[in-house]
Amino acid sequence: MRPSLIGTGESDAFRPGVPALSHFPIDAWRHAIDRALRRAGRDLLAYGDPLGERALRESIARHLAVTRGVRCDPEQIVITEGAQGAIALCAQLLTNPGDTVWVEEPGYRGARTAMQAADLDVVPMPVDAEGLRAEDVDWRERTPRLVYTTPSNQFPTGAVLSISRRLALIDAARRHRAWIIEDDYDSEFRHTGEPIGALQGLAADSPVVYLGSFSKTMFPALRIGFLVLPDALLAAVRPALPEMLRGGTRHVQLALADFIETGEYGRHLGRMRRLYRDRRRALLAALDDAFTAAHQVEGGPCGLHLALRLPARYRDRAIVEAAREHGIGPFPLSGFSLHATSAANGLVLGFGNTSAEAFAPMLRTLSAIAHRVAGD
């Protein structure tokens, strides 16, 4: 029997990055859309603020201050088309062709693609259990214009950037006149321990551009992301922003602001945190019982996936290709490395979109595939 899934057009089970869409409060969202249309009426037919609807920017500023310790005013927030649009906008605003940008290795492929599309010199930086290891590098050799990092939940390993490294990164970026792009990926879903505040809020006037989206906390098709620009940067780039942005879908932005202000968003987050905490616990237990191939679990304090490190004989790309024939869609860990020589071998298992009772049978299938690939 196929596990309980929401279709995405590909193999869905264990696919990273997909939230529990069947648990989204669609009726509450429909009411928020209706209220936005009734209140604004035909005014919504005209162009809006290219930086995004003021009501949404105010709601995001309040939410970030309370939940992430982000220091910002609504004027510093720019609404984008998802996180990918936010990353691409950073590359446009902050760099010139040929500039150097540091990215995590392994790391988010979308960030790497956006930087390469901007004709930047993309330099992979190592990651360990404490996150990005920027302190190991001589900043003067290949001084970056940008440093892209996912400090609260490193993608895909799940490492959390330590406080000492956060402060050292801010200090080094200041000294070398670099900008840090903080992608606060999946920070809303912390399963163990106390949450660490955003890098952006650790120091006044830090050289940090904070990036977030609603793809996991709401639903991927929403396509709303945002940037929080430091005051000094905003003053420099604001004249160019109206030519680069068009403001997005106004009624959807106003509906999201309503969803946040009425408390529906907070209640939904609370329900999802409990659900994902339970699913993570169930997945860890199922791995112990059902996945017999040698492996090491990485990450897990935040987010909607776990990473499994596998010995080299369990070739991750071959496992993933075979798993798709069974409707199972993990990602190969090696696919998140810029250079094949440094690629880690393993699987990235998403647990957001799959019911807990499906974990054990799917892991037994994956384990059998892994043993077959290795010739065990």
Do 133 and 159 form a contact (C-beta atoms < 8 A)? no
10 inside domain: no
Q: Residue 341's pLDDT is what?
A: 64
The C-alpha atoms of residue 154 and residue 104 are separated, in whole angstroms, by 8
Q: Residue 45's pLDDT is what?
A: 87
As for how many domains the chain has, the answer is 2
Q: Residue 194's pLDDT is what?
A: 78
44 inside domain: yes
Q: 262, 289, 315 — which closes off a domain?
A: 262
Q: Residue 243's pLDDT is what?
A: 85
Q: Residue 3's pLDDT is what?
A: 40
Looking at the structure, do residues 78 and 159 belong to the same domain, yes or no?
Answer: yes
Looking at the structure, do residues 41 and 101 belong to the same domain, yes or no?
Answer: yes
CATH for 303: 3.90.1150.10
Q: What is the DSSP string of 294-361?
A: --EEE--SBSSEEEEE--TTS-HHHHHHHHHTTTB-PEEGGGG-SSGGG---EEEEE-TTS-GGGHHH
Looking at the structure, do residues 286 and 322 belong to the same domain, yes or no?
Answer: yes
Looking at the structure, do residues 255 and 352 belong to the same domain, yes or no?
Answer: no
Long-range contacts of 232-236 (CB under 8 A, 24+ apart): 232/205, 233/93, 233/94, 233/179, 233/209, 234/75, 234/76
DSSP secondary-structure letter at 45? G
12 inside domain: no
Q: 238, 262, 286 — which closes off a domain?
A: 262
* Closest by CA position to 349, among listed 270, 274, 271, 295: 295
Q: 262, 287, 315 — which closes off a domain?
A: 262
13 inside domain: no
Instruction: Quickly count: other Cβ atoms within 10 Å of residue 121's Cβ.
Output: 16
> Would you state the structure tokens that stand for residue 288, as one six-digit string?
């112990």
Looking at the structure, do residues 309 and 200 belong to the same domain, yes or no?
Answer: no
Q: Residue 192's pLDDT is what?
A: 85
CATH for 121: 3.40.640.10
Q: Residue 9's pLDDT is what?
A: 40
Model-level pTM?
A: 0.92
131 is in which domain, residue-wise?
26-262
Instruction: Quickly count: other Cβ atoms within 10 Å of residue 264's Cβ.
Output: 16
Looking at the structure, do residues 247 and 275 belong to the same domain, yes or no?
Answer: no
Q: Residue 279's pLDDT is what?
A: 97
Tens of pLDDT, residue by residue over 68-101, are 999 999 999 999 999 999 999 999 999 999 999 9
Tokens 């010995």 found at: 311
19 inside domain: no
Looking at the structure, do residues 142 and 246 belong to the same domain, yes or no?
Answer: yes
Residue stretches of the chain with pLDDT short of 70: 1-11, 300, 341-342
4 inside domain: no
Tens of pLDDT, residue by residue over 230-239, are 998 998 998 8
86 inside domain: yes
92 inside domain: yes
Looking at the structure, do residues 160 and 132 belong to the same domain, yes or no?
Answer: yes
Q: Residue 342's pLDDT is what?
A: 61
Query: Any bridge partners for residue 128, and if so which?
Result: 131
